[in-house]
Structure 1
Amino acid sequence: MQPEDLQSLVTTAMPYGKYKGRLIADLPGAYLAWYARKGFPPGRLGSLLALALELDHNGLKRLLDPLRPK
């Protein structure tokens, strides 16, 4: 993980699927867990989804609040 990955969670929208357009940081934990079981997509998107799941699973999503655009 790179420091800019946390910023990307609050600025990158899901590009497709049920939650298209929603920020990755705002994706529901159940959806992230489903993706983990299915297999995250390759590349940067998959890495961001895995990081979002890790934050959600460990109750750390509030750490992203100061990084959100105002």
Structure 2
Amino acid sequence: MVDKNILLELVRMRMPYGKYKGTILCDLPEFYLAWYQQKGFPEGKLGMMLSTLYEIKLNGLEYLLREIRKM
């Protein structure tokens, strides 16, 4: 089970660099996350967040994030 605090951060945290700098993590396109999955996610918290988001999107669980975003 995913920690609810991680889900909260996915709808609040912004991408700190790159093409999507400033984009809220949950708004990153799936193809970008798939690219990271192939390349290797960054170390640390950001990598864990992107990896979690990739799994959420890959498995069609984005409704979880939409519900949290409404809060």
**TM-score normalized by the length of structure 2:** 0.91
C-alpha displacement of 1:61: 0.8
**TM-score normalized by the length of structure 1:** 0.92
C-alpha displacement of 1:65: 1.1
> What is the aligned-residue identity percentage?
49
C-alpha displacement of 1:62: 1.4
Q: Say which SS state the counterpart of residue 33 (structure 1) adopts.
A: helix
Aligned length: 70
Across the aligned residues of Structure 1 and Structure 2, the Cα RMSD in angstroms comes to 1.3
Q: Say which SS state the counterpart of residue 18 (structure 2) adopts.
A: coil
Partner residue in 2 for 1:59: 60
Which residues in structure 2 correspond to 1:1-70 (within 5 Å)? 1-68=2-69
C-alpha displacement of 1:2: 2.6
Which sections of structure 2, spanning at least 5 residues, go unmatched?
none
Cα distance in 1, alignment partners of residues 7 and 41 from structure 2 = 18
Which sections of structure 1, spanning at least 5 residues, go unmatched?
none
Moved over 2 A (4+): none
